[in-house]
């Protein structure tokens, strides 16, 4: 094997990624053996994992990217629900659904831009900015929708339905393909594109990045916008799947997305993380949620397990990292 | 050594005349004339608050002077940002702020200036090759361009930061306290890098408190005190003891 190939493999299986990989495999084995009637590995359940489960995971990819740049986004669930409302309104006035979809993506980009703009220009920690917009956009959506659900008719555009929620070959949910595609594209950007290098530099040492002429404010704002667009995309995808707008869409996803990134080896301080790690982290969170339901464990336990998995995965990756740095 | 081919305009690489800088009511620079010649290592020394860093920050575009002129290669220039300075070929290596610890050597060296293939993807091969060649050119032999900065010693980090300046065809490298917080061995490495820079025909401004570090490597010394130039002497005309005395002595007005 050539040297560069070997290096690629090695960086893929880097220490942080390796620990989440072990956790993920262990969870799969555990749920596979212990779910009653092996329901976890049934085709029906795998379709649920890969279909609706991918909706959350797509957003987690963006949140992970943003965290590498050193910022947080607590407003993902609220951006999602606001975009859902926008899309359902455009549907109700009879607009072409593809056009409506693109307008919704534009709204997502705009909301992400606002997060980035406020955070970078006013120098407010993004934790606070997005805490504010989290409440703001959900509040606005509740106000406009009065909290009622609204029906959506998938029959209006079967094409959009099959692009976003169809089954490839009748088996693989389109959502999973989208998740994989977004993961691949964002992974290429983060690891191989020069913009990815700017994201790492911005998160790792902002002063150094600025001194080298990188516009760190712009880098961060673009990352916020990527998150916003992904939220809008999932908003449309979700409405098409459930045929209903609900003002509870995306509720609680913000912390789950951060959890997925951290479990996947992303540093809360920025500058460290990989797209493969975030990808597996998102899958891990989805698998835990799903597996516990199948084990008939009361839902309240889910949070306890989440907590334990987050803390243990961070501890193990820190331990491995220290060991490695010590040896070098 | 003076190069006989040196025409009049090559005599000075960077020249600052009558530079003044105020911070509120405090005058940090009181009409300083400062010059660096090609392939010359200038030791810029002085006590805390002497104005060393302020002077250098004016030259590197971090501060704007309130008065005075800057000439680069005998042409009057306006340096209003670090980007302006870099375009001219002036690179500044700031202590500890220069590198991203969790990124690889080659990603640091090319930070913000990544060689790209179509669509903006990084040309990793040329980055790796470029970094290793540049590191070897100053005599720094590192295992792999993929090693993280966090795994390097202090001297090696300083070397990487200097190499980054070198690789982008810097004509003048400004080193702000490059040996502070380094062990004796690491400091010696950095001093070797500086000799190598000079051999490559690059001018260096070496700012430091430590006369024992600067004395063997510099050709000329400029001593600042309370915002004024106290002395500007060639190495052959002075000694460490004399310089030490000049640094402690307050500026005399004649």
The pLDDT tens digits of the residues spanning B225-240 come to: 888 898 899 988 888 8
Rounded distance between C-alpha atoms, residue A29 and residue A67, angstroms: 30
- Most B-contacting residue of A70, A191, A204 (CB-CB within 10 A), to test interface: A204
Say if CB A283 and CB A259 are below 8 A apart: no
* Burial class, B92, CB count within 10 angstroms (exposed 0-12 / middle 13-18 / buried 19+): buried
Q: Name the helix (H) or strand (E) containing B186.
A: helix B184-199
Q: What is the 3-state secondary structure (H, E, C) of A71-117?
A: CCCCCHHHHHHHHHHHHHHHHHCCCCHHHHHHHHHHHHHHHHHHHHH
Rounded distance between C-alpha atoms, residue A159 and residue A165, angstroms: 10
Q: Are strands B90-94 and B67-72 parallel, antiparallel or unpaired?
A: unpaired
Residue B1 has pLDDT above 60, yes or no: no
Smallest Cα distance from B204 to chain A, Å = 19
Note whether A204 contacts B102, CB cutoff 8 Å: yes
Domains defined along chain A, listed by start: 16-319 (1.10.3470)
The per-residue pLDDT for range A280-306, each reduced to its tens digit, is: 999 999 999 888 888 888 878 888 888
Rounded distance between C-alpha atoms, residue A34 and residue A257, angstroms: 27
Average pLDDT over residues A252-275: 90
Note whether A194 contacts B99, CB cutoff 8 Å: no
The fraction of chain A above a pLDDT of 70, given in percent, is: 92
Q: Does B81 touch chain A (CB under 8 A)?
A: no
Average pLDDT over residues B12-37: 92
Q: At which residue do the structure tokens 């749920």 appear? A: A31
- Most A-contacting residue of B62, B111, B168 (CB-CB within 10 A), to test interface: B111
Residue B128 has pLDDT above 80, yes or no: yes
Confidence (pLDDT) at B143: 84
Q: Name the helix (H) or strand (E) containing B22.
A: strand B14-23
Q: Dihedral of the CA atoms A198, A189, B109, A206 (nearest 10)?
A: 20
Q: Is residue B19 part of a domain?
A: no
Q: What CATH number does the domain containing B177 carry?
A: 3.40.50.300
Q: Is residue B12 part of a domain?
A: no
Smallest Cα distance from A255 to chain B, Å = 25
Confidence (pLDDT) at B3: 43
Q: Is residue B254 part of a domain?
A: no
Across the interface, of A11, A193, A208, the residue whose CB is closest to B98 is A208
> What residues contact residue A106 under an 8 Å CB cut-off, 6+ apart?
A232
Average pLDDT over residues A14-26: 79
Q: Is residue B163 part of a domain?
A: yes
Residue B96 has pLDDT above 70, yes or no: no
Note whether A193 contacts B100, CB cutoff 8 Å: no
Closest CA in chain B for residue A210: B112
Q: Is residue B26 part of a domain?
A: no
Give the range among B8-22, B28-42, B66-80 with minimum mean pLDDT.
Answer: B8-22
Structural domain that includes position B50: 38-62+81-248
Average pLDDT over residues B151-178: 84
Average pLDDT over residues B72-84: 88
Q: Half-sphere exposure (CA, 13 Å, Cβ side) for B213?
A: 27
Residues in a beta bridge with B231: B223
Smallest Cα distance from B119 to chain A, Å = 8
Q: Does B174 touch chain A (CB under 8 A)?
A: no
Structure tokens at A290: 């799903």
Note whether B121 contacts A208, CB cutoff 8 Å: no
CB atoms within 10 A of CB A287: 20
Q: Does B5 touch chain A (CB under 8 A)?
A: no
Confidence (pLDDT) at A93: 94
Q: How far is CA B241 from the centre of its chain?
A: 24
Closest CA in chain B for residue A203: B100
Q: Could you tell me how many CB contacts below 8 A there are between chain A and chain B?
A: 77
Minimal CA–CA distance to B53: which of B25, B23, B73, B83?
B23
Q: Does A325 touch chain B (CB under 8 A)?
A: yes
Q: Which of residues 129-148 of B touch A (CB under 8 A)?
A: 146-147
Confidence (pLDDT) at B250: 63
Say if CB A220 and CB A202 are below 8 A apart: yes
Rounded distance between C-alpha atoms, residue A158 and residue A14, angstroms: 43
| pLDDT confidence bin for B6, thresholds 50/70/90 | very low
Residue B172 has pLDDT above 50, yes or no: yes
> What residues contact residue B115 under an 8 Å CB cut-off, 6+ apart?
B122, B123, B126, B127, B130
Say if CB A141 and CB A82 are below 8 A apart: yes
Note whether B102 contacts A271, CB cutoff 8 Å: yes
Across the interface, of A193, A212, A325, the residue whose CB is closest to B111 is A212
| pLDDT confidence bin for A169, thresholds 50/70/90 | confident
Rounded distance between C-alpha atoms, residue A112 and residue A71, angstroms: 12
Note whether A213 contacts B82, CB cutoff 8 Å: yes
| pLDDT confidence bin for A40, thresholds 50/70/90 | confident
Average pLDDT over residues B99-116: 91
Across the interface, of B112, B116, B150, the residue whose CB is closest to A209 is B112
Closest CA in chain A for residue B111: A212
The per-residue pLDDT for range A115-134, each reduced to its tens digit, is: 999 999 999 999 999 999 99
Tell me if residue B245 falls in helix, strand or coil: helix
Residue A4 has pLDDT above 60, yes or no: no
Residues of chain A positioned with their CB less than 8 A from the CB of B100: 200-201, 204-205, 208-209, 271
Confidence (pLDDT) at A199: 97
| pLDDT confidence bin for A194, thresholds 50/70/90 | very high
Q: Are strands B14-23 and B26-36 parallel, antiparallel or unpaired?
A: antiparallel
Minimal CA–CA distance to A269: which of A188, A203, A185?
A203
Q: Is residue B33 part of a domain?
A: no
Q: Half-sphere exposure (CA, 13 Å, Cβ side) for A20?
A: 31
Residues of chain A positioned with their CB less than 8 A from the CB of B97: 205, 207-208, 211
Rounded distance between C-alpha atoms, residue A79 and residue A227, angstroms: 9
Rounded distance between C-alpha atoms, residue A67 and residue B23, angstroms: 37
| pLDDT confidence bin for B4, thresholds 50/70/90 | very low
Q: Is residue B18 part of a domain?
A: no
Considering only residues A328 and B15, tell me which one the structure prediction assigns the higher pLDDT.
B15
| pLDDT confidence bin for A161, thresholds 50/70/90 | confident
Find the length of chain B. 254
Note whether B120 contacts A271, CB cutoff 8 Å: no
Rounded distance between C-alpha atoms, residue A265 and residue B232, angstroms: 54
Note whether A213 contacts B147, CB cutoff 8 Å: no
Average pLDDT over residues A52-56: 93
Rounded distance between C-alpha atoms, residue A67 and residue A223, angstroms: 9
Q: What is the 3-state secondary structure (H, E, C) of chain A?
A: CCHHHHHHHHHHCCHHHHHHHHHHHHHHHHHHHHCHHHHHHCHHHHHHHHCHHHHHHHHHHHHHHHHHCCCCCCCHHHHHHHHHHHHHHHHHCCCCHHHHHHHHHHHHHHHHHHHHHHHHHCCCCHHHHHHHHHHHHHHHHHHHHCCCCEECCHHHCHHHHHHHHCEECCCEEHHHHHHHHHHHHHHHHHHHEHHHHHHHHHHHCHHHHHHCCCCHHHHHHHHHHHHHHHHHHHHHHHHHHHCEECCCCCCCHHHHHHHHHHHCCCCCCCCCCCHHHHHHHHHHHHHHHHHHHHCCCCCHHHHHHHHHHHHHHHHHHHHHHHHHHHHC
Q: Is residue B32 part of a domain?
A: no
Confidence (pLDDT) at B254: 54
The fraction of chain B above a pLDDT of 70, given in percent, is: 93
The sign one gets for the Cα dihedral A193, A195, A196, A197 is: positive
Structure tokens at A74: 């607590």
The number of domains in chain B is 1
Tell me if residue B110 falls in helix, strand or coil: coil
Confidence (pLDDT) at B193: 84
Q: What ipTM score was computed for the predicted complex, to two decimals?
A: 0.83
């Amino acid at each position: 094997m050539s040297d560069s190939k070997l290096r690629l493999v090695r960086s893929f299986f880097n220490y942080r990624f390796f620990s989440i990989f072990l956790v993920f495999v262990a969870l799969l084995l555990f749920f596979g053996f212990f779910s009653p009637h092996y329901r976890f590995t049934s085709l029906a359940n795998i379709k649920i994992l890969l279909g609706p489960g991918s909706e959350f995971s797509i957003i987690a990819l963006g949140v992970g990217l943003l965290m590498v740049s050193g910022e947080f986004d607590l407003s993902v669930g609220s951006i999602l629900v606001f975009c859902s409302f926008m899309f359902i309104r455009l549907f109700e006035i009879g607009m072409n659904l593809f056009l409506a979809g693109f307008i919704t993506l534009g709204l997502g980009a705009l909301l992400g831009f606002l997060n980035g703009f406020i955070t970078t220009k006013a120098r407010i920690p993004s934790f606070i900015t997005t805490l504010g917009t989290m409440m703001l956009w959900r509040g606005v959506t509740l106000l406009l929708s009065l909290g009622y659900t609204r029906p959506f008719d998938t029959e209006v555009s079967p094409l959009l339905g099959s692009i976003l929620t169809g089954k490839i070959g009748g088996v693989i949910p389109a959502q999973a393909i989208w998740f994989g595609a977004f993961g691949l594209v964002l992974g290429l950007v983060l690891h191989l594109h020069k913009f990815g290098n700017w994201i790492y530099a911005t998160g790792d040492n902002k002063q150094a990045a600025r001194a080298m002429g990188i516009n760190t404010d712009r880098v961060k704002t673009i990352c916020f916008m990527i998150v916003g667009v992904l939220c809008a995309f999932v908003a449309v995808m979700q409405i098409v799947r459930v045929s209903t707008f609900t003002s509870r869409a995306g509720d609680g996803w913000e912390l789950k997305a951060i959890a997925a990134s951290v479990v996947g080896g992303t540093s809360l301080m920025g500058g460290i993380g990989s797209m493969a790690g975030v990808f597996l982290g998102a899958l891990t969170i989805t698998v835990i949620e799903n597996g516990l339901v199948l084990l008939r464990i009361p839902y309240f336990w889910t949070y306890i397990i989440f907590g334990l998995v987050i803390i243990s995965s961070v501890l193990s990756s820190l331990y491995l990292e220290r060991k490695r740095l010590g040896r070098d | 050594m003076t190069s006989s081919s040196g025409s009049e305009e090559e005599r000075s690489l960077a020249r600052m005349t009558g530079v003044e800088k105020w911070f509120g009511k405090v005058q940090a620079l009181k009409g300083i004339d400062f010059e660096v010649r090609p392939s010359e290592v200038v030791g810029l020394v002085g006590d805390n608050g002497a104005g060393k860093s302020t002077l250098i920050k004016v030259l590197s575009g971090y501060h704007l002077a309130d008065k005075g002129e800057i000439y680069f290669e005998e042409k009057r220039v306006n340096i209003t940002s670090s980007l302006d300075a870099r375009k001219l070929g002036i690179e500044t290596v700031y202590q500890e702020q220069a590198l991203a610890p969790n990124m690889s050597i080659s990603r640091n060296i090319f930070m913000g200036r990544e060689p790209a293939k179509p669509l903006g993807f990084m040309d990793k091969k040329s980055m790796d090759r470029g970094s290793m060649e540049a590191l070897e050119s100053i005599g720094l032999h590192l295992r792999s361009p993929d090693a993280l900065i966090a795994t390097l010693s202090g001297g090696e980090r300083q070397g990487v930061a200097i190499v980054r300046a070198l690789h982008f065809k810097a004509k003048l490298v400004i080193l702000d306290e490059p040996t502070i917080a380094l062990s004796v061995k690491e400091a010696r490495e950095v001093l070797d890098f500086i000799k190598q820079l000079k051999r490559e025909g690059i001018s260096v401004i070496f700012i430091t408190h430590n006369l024992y570090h600067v004395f063997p490597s510099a050709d000329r010394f400029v001593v600042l005190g309370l915002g004024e130039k106290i002395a500007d002497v060639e190495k052959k005309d002075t000694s460490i003891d004399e310089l030490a005395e000049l640094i402690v002595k307050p500026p005399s007005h004649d």
